Amino acid sequence: MSNLELIAKLKNELTALEYTPVGIGNYCAYARQFLEYLASRQIAVGGGENPRINGAGRLERQ
């Protein structure tokens, strides 16, 4: 999956979780910068689980 696809997926997830537009923009910008850093270090991004965060900022058990 390309970086653009990953960022789009993140944006969709955050929108579904009803994050504010500013929050979504910030998270996507940080993720984009991190993905660029990984690419500069030639570190591949692999698939992983999609953890859910509860309202208190804690991971929910699935």
Span 7-49, pLDDT tens digits: 999 999 999 999 999 999 999 999 999 999 999 999 888 766 6
The domains of the chain are located at 1-62
> Which pTM value belongs to this model?
0.71
Compute the distance between CA of residue 6 and CA of residue 28 in angstroms, rounded to an integer: 9
Compute the distance between CA of residue 59 and CA of residue 22 in angstroms, rounded to an integer: 22
